[in-house]
Amino acid sequence: MVAVIQRVSQASVTIDNRIHGQIGIGFLVLLGITHTDTPDDVEWLSKKIVGMRIFNDADEKMNLDLAAVQGDILLISQFTLHASTKKGNRPGFTEAARPEVAIPLYESMIGQLSRDLGKAVQTGQFGADMKVALLNDGPVTIVIDTKNRQ
């Protein structure tokens, strides 16, 4: 499971010309799920995301987490995070989990993030054509891969 975390001042996702989810200060999280991911990956990654201390404190040091700034999360599924670009110019997506594996893990991540954050998480819609808008704050972008925990 790969997460791209972007610290944002605001973010939204639009589906069929209608805002489906939006947040102010917080994290836009793009989530890529592969066929070997498990519920353990969901639990570990959720705690890592919620505990990520990348908001500035009074001394302008990245030292505060989402709870400290009363931040929110907008979670977007993005299978293209598992693109293989080794051959040619057309990416391959064989490492991305098929919907029957990915959807339950995505839904589990929504629930786990909500529990760990202590409030509802905004989301996109799995498999939909989404338009994501964000104002990256910093910019700060962090990539976490559950296969590289050490």
DSSP SS3 for 121: coil
What are the structure tokens assigned to 111, written together? 């629930």
Tell me, yes or no, if 78 is annotated catalytic.
Answer: yes
**Active-site option among 6, 27, 34, 79:** 79
**Active-site option among 78, 122, 123, 146:** 78
**Active-site option among 70, 80, 93, 141:** 80
Residue with tokens 């954050």: 117
What are the structure tokens assigned to 60, written together? 């302008």
C-alpha 118/C-alpha 139 separation (Å) is: 26
Compute CA distances 47 → 66, 114, 144, whole Å. Answer: 11, 11, 12
Query: CA 121: distance to chain centroid?
Result: 11
C-alpha 9/C-alpha 93 separation (Å) is: 31
Tell me, yes or no, if 150 is annotated catalytic.
Answer: no
What are the structure tokens assigned to 126, written together? 């799995």
Q: Any idea which residues carry the catalytic annotation?
A: 78-80
